[in-house]
Amino acid sequence: MMIPEYFGSMVFDDRVMKARLSADVYRSLRKTIDDGTKLDLSVANAVAAAMKDWAVEKGATHFTHWFQPMTGITAEKHDSFITPAPDGRVILEFSGKELIKGEPDASSFPSGGLRATFEARGYTAWDPTSYAFVKGKTLCIPTAFCSYGGEALDKKTPLLRSMEALNRQALRILRLFGNEDVRRVSTSVGPEQEYFLVDAELYRRRPDLIYTGRTLFGARPPKGQELDDHYFGTIKPRVAAYMEDLNQELWKLGILAKTEHNEVAPAQHELAPIYTTTNLATDHNQLTMEIMQTVAARHGLVCLLHEKPFAGVNGSGKHNNWSMSTDTGVNLLSPGETPHENAQFLLFLCAVIQAVDDYQDLLRTAVATAGNDHRLGANEAPPAVVSIFLGDELTAVLKSIESDAPYQGAERIRMKLGVPALPRFLRDTTDRNRTSPFAFTGNKFEFRMLGSSNSIACANIMLNSAVADTLRKFADRLEGAGDLDAALHTLIQDTIRDHKRIIFNGNGYDDAWLEEAARRGLANLRTTPDCVPCLLEKKNMEMLTGLKVYTQAELESRYEITMENYCKSVSIEALTMVDMARRDILPAVEAYAARVASSASVKKAADPELMCLYERDLVRRLSGLTDRIAGRTESLERLMAELQTESDVTVTAGRIRDEVLPSMSALRAAADEAETLTASDCWPYPTYGDLLFSVR
C-alpha cells in the first residue's frame, strides 16, 4: 500500500468526519472545533456512534479517554463497547455522554495538594481540537483531565488556555494593522526528537538502565564520538529496519514524521516531524515517544529517552520549533514583502524578544528535570542561561531602528517603520547557532533547551503565555495612540533598547559568555532546585493567573510536583547505585583481586625468586578501590536514610543537589576506575563499548 493511502488511516480526522457524519452534524462539530462553541448532546451522540462504527471497523473493541497527567507520560483506562442485550448476547454501543466525559480515579496521579485524599474522583473531558485515533484494539479519545474541584491535573488544559490567551492578544495587535479577516491566531510546533537505541539483551543486564533510564556506572570506552563519524553517517541495517517500521506506525496515526538521521553520539539518532498546531503536536510527540519504544521492542532493541543515558557522549534533547500563524495562512514571524508586513513582523518579533527576557526564568523552569540538569551546559546543549540568537544581519537591523540610523546592509535603508521594506535576507542567510537556547531560524524560533523525555506542553505553555502577556502590553499601549505609526516606532525602539541584553549571537559554550551573561543580569539557573521556585515568584504568578492559564493553587501544585519528581528520581538513582555496588561491583572486584592473588601464589610456588610485581601492584590497587567503593556506598546509603526523615520537599531537593549528587559522583568515580582494572569476564555488566557499538 502506498503511503498516501494509509497515512492517517487510524485517525478519525476531518476526512472521516465529512464522510461519516451528516452535513448538519459535521457543521456543528466544526463550529465546536473552530469557535469553541458548546457541543449539543444530540450532536455528540451522532459523533460517538459514527466514531464507534469506524473504530470497530479498524479492529477496536475498547475505548479510552487518553490524557496527559503530570507524570510526563500519557494515561488511559480502557472500557469495552459491549452492552448486555435482553437475549443474553451483547451489542456494541458508545454514547455521546461517554465521548464527552469520563470519570477515572485520580487518587494515584500527582496533584501537588490540589485535591484532598477523599476527593479521589477525576474527570476527563473530550478535546475535539485533537483527533481521536485507534491504537491497537482501542479507540483513543484525547481529553483534558481535572480534579473533583475543577483544577487542572494535566498538561493539556493549561496548554489550551495558553493558546487561547495568545490568540486573544494577537488578534488585538492584528486589528491595529487593519486586519479584520483573521479569526484566529495559533501557535505551531515541530519538535525534533533525539534518542538512543541499544540492544535489548544488553539492556536487561543493566539494572541502572532498567530502573533509571541512564547508566549510573560505566568507564569511558577507547572510542566515543571524537571522530564525528556517526553524525549523519550511513544508517546501520538494524536501525534502518527500525526506522522504517517506526515511520509506518507514525504515519498511520497521522504523525508527520519527516526527517531521520544518526546523531552525534554512537547509537544516537533523531526523528523530526513537520510542524503542526501546538496542541496536536504535543499529542503527537507523546505518541511518538511511546511508539518509538514499542517498535524498538519488536526489533530486539530498547529506545532510551533519558537526557543523559551515557557519560562522556552527548545527551539527547528535543528542539521545539515554534511559530505563530493566522487562520488565513500568514506566518507572523515571516518578514513579509511589504512595509506594512515588515512593521507587523517587527512588532511580533519584538514581542518574543521582550517575552523571553521578562520570563527567561519560566522558560528555564519549563524544561527542569533531574535528567536535563545533566545535559544543559555540558558542551553538547545550550547553557542553563536563556538567550536569543537573531543572526548578525537581523541584529544590525534592530540596532539601526534603535538608533534611527541607516541600516548598513546590502543597501542603505533608514528603518522608519511603515515606509521602507526590510532587506530580504532573513529566510536564506539567518544561520542556526547550535549553542543558542533560543534561535531565530528564518520564520520561527527554535527553543533547544528541552530534554528528550520532556513533554513539549510545559515549554509551550510558558512560551505562549509569555508572548501573550507581552502582546497584551503592546496592545494596551498602541490602542490609545493618536499616531499609530509614531507610537509603533517608539514602542519597537523602546523594546529593543530595554531588552537587547537577551540577544547573544556568540558561542554559548564559552565560559566567557557565562561571565558576560552575569554582567547583563541574565539568570543562570543551573539545576532544578535553583529554577523551580521561580514558579511562585510574584511577577510570574500574576502573569499566569492574569491570563487565566493557571490558578494560584495550580501553580503551587506544579511547584510541589516538580520538586517531588526531582527528589524521587535522584533518590531512585542513588538507591540503585547502592544496590549495584554492594551486590555486584564489590563482589566482582574482590573476586578478581583474589584471582590475581591466587595466580601470584601459584607463580611464587613454582619459582620463589619471582617478585610478581604486576600482581602485587594490581591487588593493592584493587583492594584500595574496594575499600573506597565500600566506604562511599555506606556514606551514600546513610545520607539517603537521613533524607527519608525530611518532610520539606524544598529542603530535600537542596540536599540532593548539594550532598547526594556529589556523593553519587564519588562512588561512580571509584567504581569506574575499578572497571578499567578488572578483567572483562569478571565485570558484572555490559560495558559502554558493548552498549554503544553493538547495534549493527
Q: What is the pLDDT of residues 508-521, one digit of tens each?
A: 888 899 999 999 99
Residues 385, 70, 523: CA angle, nearest 5 degrees? 15
Residue 91, H or E segment: strand 90-92
Place of cell 511562585: 536
Average pLDDT over residues 588-614: 91
pLDDT(120) > 90: no
Identify the burial level of 501 via C-beta atoms within 10 angstroms of its C-beta, where 0-12 means exposed, 13-18 middle and 19 or more buried: middle
Quick count: other Cβ atoms within 10 Å of Cβ 36? 12
**So what's the pLDDT on residue 36?**
80
Banded model confidence at residue 111, pLDDT cuts 50, 70, 90 = confident
Average pLDDT over residues 357-372: 97
Listed in order, the ranges of the chain carrying CATH 1.20.120.1560 are 565-693
**DSSP symbols for 525-575:** --SHHHHGGGGGSHHHHHHHHHTTS--HHHHHHHHHHHHHHHHHHHHHHHH
How high does pLDDT run on average in the chain? 92
Average pLDDT over residues 36-58: 94
Supply the angle between the helices 613-643 and 661-677 in degrees, to the nearest 10.
Answer: 160
Strands 257-262 and 445-451 come out as unpaired
Average pLDDT over residues 129-155: 93
- Among 527, 674, 500, 686, which Cα is nearest to 592's? 674
Question: Rounded to an integer, what distance in angstroms lies between the CA atom of residue 294 and that of residue 76?
Answer: 16
pLDDT(421) > 90: no
Average pLDDT over residues 226-242: 95
Percent of the chain with pLDDT over 90: 79
Q: Write the CB contacts of 73 (distance below 8 Å, at least 6 apart in sequence).
A: 286, 290
CATH 3.40.50.300 is held by the domain 3-153: no
Q: Write the CB contacts of 48 (distance below 8 Å, at least 6 apart in sequence).
A: 94, 95, 96, 98, 99
Listed in order, the ranges of the chain carrying CATH 3.30.590.10 are 162-550
Question: Rounded to an integer, what distance in angstroms lies between the CA atom of residue 486 and that of residue 418?
Answer: 10
**So what's the pLDDT on residue 410?**
47
Average pLDDT over residues 10-35: 94
Phi, psi (rounded to 5 degrees) for 691 = -70, -40
**So what's the pLDDT on residue 592?**
97
Question: Rounded to an integer, what distance in angstroms lies between the CA atom of residue 284 and that of residue 250?
Answer: 9
Question: Rounded to an integer, what distance in angstroms lies between the CA atom of residue 218 and that of residue 553?
Answer: 43
How far, in whole angstroms, is CA 192 from its chain's centroid? 10
CA distances for 514 relative to 34, 366, 525, angstroms: 45, 21, 11
Listed in order, the ranges of the chain carrying CATH 3.10.20.70 are 3-153
Distance between first and last Cα of the chain: 28
> What CATH topology corresponds to 162-550?
Creatine Kinase; Chain A, domain 2 (3.30.590)
Percent of the chain with pLDDT over 70: 94
**So what's the pLDDT on residue 218?**
98
The amino acid occupying position 513 is: W
Quick count: other Cβ atoms within 10 Å of Cβ 5? 7
> What are the pLDDT digits (tens) for 273-311?
999 999 999 999 999 999 999 999 999 999 999 999 999
Q: What is the DSSP letter of 204?
A: T
> What are the pLDDT digits (tens) for 188-200?
999 999 999 999 9
**So what's the pLDDT on residue 419?**
39
Q: Are 128 and 33 in contact (CB under 8 A)?
A: yes
114 three-state secondary structure: coil
Q: Write the CB contacts of 621 (distance below 8 Å, at least 6 apart in sequence).
A: 677
Architecture per CATH, domain 565-693, reads as: Up-down Bundle (1.20)
Higher pLDDT, 445 or 39: 445
Phi, psi (rounded to 5 degrees) for 129 = -80, -10
Identify the burial level of 92 via C-beta atoms within 10 angstroms of its C-beta, where 0-12 means exposed, 13-18 middle and 19 or more buried: middle
Q: Long-range contacts: 637-644, Cβ < 8 Å, 24+? A: 637/578, 639/574, 639/663, 640/571, 640/574, 640/575, 640/578, 643/567, 643/571
Share in percent of the chain as helix, strand, coil (round to 5): 50, 15, 35
CA distances for 630 relative to 506, 570, 641, 685, angstroms: 46, 20, 17, 18
Q: Are 513 and 507 in contact (CB under 8 A)?
A: yes
The amino acid occupying position 434 is: R
Banded model confidence at residue 428, pLDDT cuts 50, 70, 90 = very low
Any bridge partners for residue 257, and if so which? Answer: 273
- Among 288, 496, 286, 291, which Cα is nearest to 388's? 496
**So what's the pLDDT on residue 116?**
56
CA distances for 205 relative to 290, 307, 591, angstroms: 22, 21, 19
> What are the pLDDT digits (tens) for 640-679?
999 999 999 999 999 999 999 999 999 999 999 999 999 9
Question: Rounded to an integer, what distance in angstroms lies between the CA atom of residue 309 and that of residue 552?
Answer: 35
What is the pTM assigned to this prediction? 0.94
Out of 96-110, 337-351, 569-583, 670-684, least confident range: 337-351
pLDDT(208) > 60: yes
Query: In the structure grid, which three cell numbers stand for residue 324, read together?
Result: 505563530
Q: What is the DSSP letter of 421?
A: P
Give me the count of residues in the chain.
696
Q: Are 651 and 659 in contact (CB under 8 A)?
A: no
Phi, psi (rounded to 5 degrees) for 46 = -65, -40
Higher pLDDT, 412 or 69: 69
